[in-house]
A and B are shown apart, each in its own frame.
Chain A
């Protein structure tokens, strides 16, 4: 067992731990959270080994990266003391490799000169290899957490990079670059995060009953799942023309091979066969606010009031 530092992003905070636990479940990894705070992007965990750390975070959307934790303290004096005391046996492994040091100051600012000075204060570890800015063999990072006003340092960490998360995928699936979207298309970050929470993975079948322009399906297919979806509005699936529709989006991303089908259906009268053929359902249920909810087959005026679905999935009348 060893300690690792996860550098989270400071957005969608309440989904960060659930995402880590989802990925741990998916990869069958034991994770013990040692420190976590909703107001901080730094989370320390105990994991079996580096392979577990890599497997845990490689798919993460709300983690920038995971680091082997060398030391942490509230002052630099104590940090250096802990590094000397606990990690001296590791130094020799990194004596000759190419490397770089980064400084990651949360809520704090450091000039380039101050960063350089800070990095040089770690030179006692005796890394003599070439310093490389791109493609270094090893990346070390000094993390600082400052208080909200940026005046006092709360905590510092030092670690070695093990693996980066999947935040690059947010750019790949950016709505601005997608062939076909609508006003209700789910943004890429939330769609990818949802796919992680749903444990989308190769060999699985994931379904979106409110598929719209397909955002959740691309995210789940990105992680290897086969995907299918339905929508009450066939126009959203068929799209505007031959180049702007759900299928065209799959083509754009090279994910056609994982697209089972999209069909038109009202979830309240759906054609799903009973039985366990699905691994997961991902969706952004209509709340009847942005687009209004359409329900077909109403027979009387009293029932034609708008219906919206509560977060627990229950339908309610406005």
Chain B
């Protein structure tokens, strides 16, 4: 599971949605691997617009990357190829193969196996769809 994907996801429990503590999810017992991916500067620039920077700083620090700029780079800062490469390495090449993602609000643990996180909820945390309400969130 890539660091970028973690930045796009949060706790699946409805009551946690939007709470400050539920994002980002926290890695626990994470086994890291680096997997080389093609470097596309345009994609990194593009995807940075969608990244929650505060969330990314938390995730990065938990994985031992402590050199992220305090503010999200924008404008001329994005002409710095080395910065884009570093972000590419963090967002796309740094992957968690085994471990857990933990919600800071409800403490629920989501297992990651073979790089695939599982967000299915046990009965007491989930809820059946109520007509179209499930899609409206």
Contact = CB atoms under 8 A, between A and B. Distances in A.
A273 B10 contact: yes
Interface string B100-116: 00000000001000111
Nearest to B92: A260
Given A237-B116, A313-B135, A315-B131, A205 B12 contact: no
A313 to B, nearest CB: 6
B116 A297 contact: no
Contacts of A262: 116
Contacts of A269: 12-14, 119-121, 125-127
A271 B12 contact: yes
Interface residues of B, number: 47
Contact of A297 (B8, B18, B121): B121
A270 B92 CA distance: 22
Interface in B1-43: 1-2, 4-5, 7-14, 17-18, 23, 37-38, 40, 42-43
B127 A234 contact: no
B43 A264 contact: no
B67 interface: no
B129 A268 contact: yes
B132 interface: yes
Contact of B17 (A202, A274, A277): A274
B66 interface: no
A303 interface: yes
A189 to B, nearest CB: 27
A238 interface: yes
A263 B116 contact: yes
- For B13, B42, B131, the residue with the greatest tally of chain A CB atoms inside 10 Å of its CB is B131
Interface in B79-137: 92, 110, 114-123, 125-129, 131-132, 134-135, 137
Interface string A276-318: 1100000000000000000111110001000100000111100
B120 A299 contact: no
A265 B119 contact: yes
B12 A270 contact: yes
A135 interface: no
Interface stretch (B45-53, B57-65, B69-77): B45-53
Contacts of A277: 8, 50-51
Nearest to A307: B129
B126 to A, nearest CB: 2
A299 B123 CA distance: 7
A232 interface: yes
B50 A275 contact: yes
A44 to B, nearest CB: 36
Contacts of B51: 277
Nearest to B39: A257
Given A256-B37, A264-B120, A297 B127 contact: yes
A133 interface: no
Contacts of A271: 9-12, 110, 119
B133 to A, nearest CB: 9
Contacts of B123: 296-299
Contacts of B8: 228, 272-273, 277
A267 B128 CA distance: 11
Given A226-B47, A267-B134, A273-B23, A261 B2 contact: yes
A202 B42 contact: yes
B43 A297 contact: no
Nearest to B38: A257
A177 to B, nearest CB: 24
- For A258, A260, A262, the residue with the greatest tally of chain B CB atoms inside 10 Å of its CB is A260
A303 B134 CA distance: 14
Contacts of A232: 120
A203 B42 contact: yes
B114 A261 contact: no
A266 interface: yes
A22 B9 CA distance: 29
B50 A276 contact: yes
5 contacts: A264-B120, A266-B121, A270-B137, A297-B126, A299-B127
Interface of A: 202-205, 226, 228, 230, 232, 234, 237-238, 256-258, 260-277, 295-299, 303, 307, 313-316
